[in-house]
Amino acid sequence: MAEVGREAPGVSAVSAGGREVSAFEAIYSDHRNAVLGLAYVMSGRWGLAEEVTQDAFIKLMDGMAAGTVDNPAGWVRTVAMNLARSRVRRIKAEIRALMRLGGRRHEHAELDTRRVESEAFWAVVRLLPSRQAEALALHYQDDRPVREVAELMGIAEGTAKALLHQGRHRLAERLGPSDPEDV
């Protein structure tokens, strides 16, 4: 697991272009898979996850060039998760509203049927309150300890611990008797 908080932050806004690209390239190479995984976990859609991951890295590229990013690996994760959550929420709201308008289809929304085998697990994670889901995604998918979960979410460590506890409790409940396989 790569250390999230502190790698390669030394790209200053005024440093030479070559160094900037090099530092970004390293971040991109080391973290894109993990960011993509997080984006998928939060959205459940590979197409959307790929899109927001690339958009997050584009933002990171600009941010690093401007010298406004202290913690690139953490920053890009947070941006990607925010983007994923935001776009899924918008899609859902649009779908619900449009379906009410007499059953209109919504053809341009993100619809991705390519799932992973463990999708049932992540689907339940996504049903949790968003902060709990985010904490669990970082903890499980990105393998972050509580301290880093807190750091990435910008919350106190105790709060992160509580979110993880509540999330795990609910997850265990939901994965238990409610699992369709138990029928």
Partner 1 sequence: MSLTEADLDQRSRAAAGDVASAASNRAESWTLEGLHARRAATRTRRQFAGVGVLALLIMSVALFVRLPLDEESSDGGSVGIVDQPVEPPPAPVDADAGDVVILADGSGFATYLDPAAETAVGGQRLAGFRQGDQPHQLIESGGRLVVGWGEVSSTALDGTDAVRLGTAEYAVPAAEDGTVWLIDYPGSSIDTRQPATASRVDVGDGRVIESGAVPAGVFPEHGIPGGLAVIGQDDDRGLFLWDAEGGGALIEVASNGQVAQVDARGGVLVFCEEICQSVGAIDVERPGQVFLIPLGSSVQATPGSLQLSADGNHLAVGVDILGLGDEGEGEGSLMVAELSIVNGIDLIGQRLVEPDGAGPPLWVAWSATSDLLYLAAPYETDDDALDFALYQVTATGEILSRDRTRGVVPLSGAAVVVPRATVSIPPPTAEGLAACDGGPTPTGCRWTVDDPLTVEATPTATRTPDTDAPHNELDVPLLGRYAHTVTWTGSEVVVWGGDATYNGSGPAFGDGAVFDPSSSRWRPMAPSPAEPTSDHLAVWTGEEVLFLGGWQNPRQLVGYDPVQDTWTTRADAPFEVTTNINPFYNAAVWTGERMLVWSGADGMAAYDPTEDRWEALTGPPVEHRYTVALHVDPRSDPASVVAVGGSENLQGIDVAIRQPDGQWTEGPELNQLIDADKRSAHIPQPSETVLTDAGLLVVPSQGAPIPAALWDLTGDWIELPTPPKPGCASLPRPIRIDGGMIVGNLCGNGVRFDAGTRSFTPFESDGPMGSNQVVWTGEELIAIEPTSGVGSAAGPAMTSWRMAIPVDPSEEE
Nearest approach, Cβ of residue 18 and partner 1 (Å) = 13
Q: Which is nearer to partner 1, 16 or 176 (CB)?
A: 176
Distance of CA 110 to the CA centre of its chain: 17
Sole binder of partner 1 in the list 93, 156, 158, 165 (CB under 8 A): 93
DSSP code string of 94-118: HHHHHHHTTS---TTS-------TT
Q: Does 1 bind partner 1 (CB under 8 A)?
A: no
CA distance 147 to 156: 9
Q: How many amino acids of this chain bind partner 1 (CB under 8 A)?
A: 74
Distances in whole angstroms, Cα of residue 98 to Cα of each of 25, 48, 93: 41, 20, 8
Residues 104-143, mask of contacts with partner 1 (x by CB under 8 A): xxxx-x-x-xx-xxx--xxx------------x---xx-x
Positions 22 through 81 that interact with partner 1 (CB under 8 A) = 25, 28, 32-34, 36-37, 40-41, 46, 49-50, 53-55, 57-59, 61-62, 75, 78-79
Contact yes or no for 132/170 (Cβ under 8 A): yes
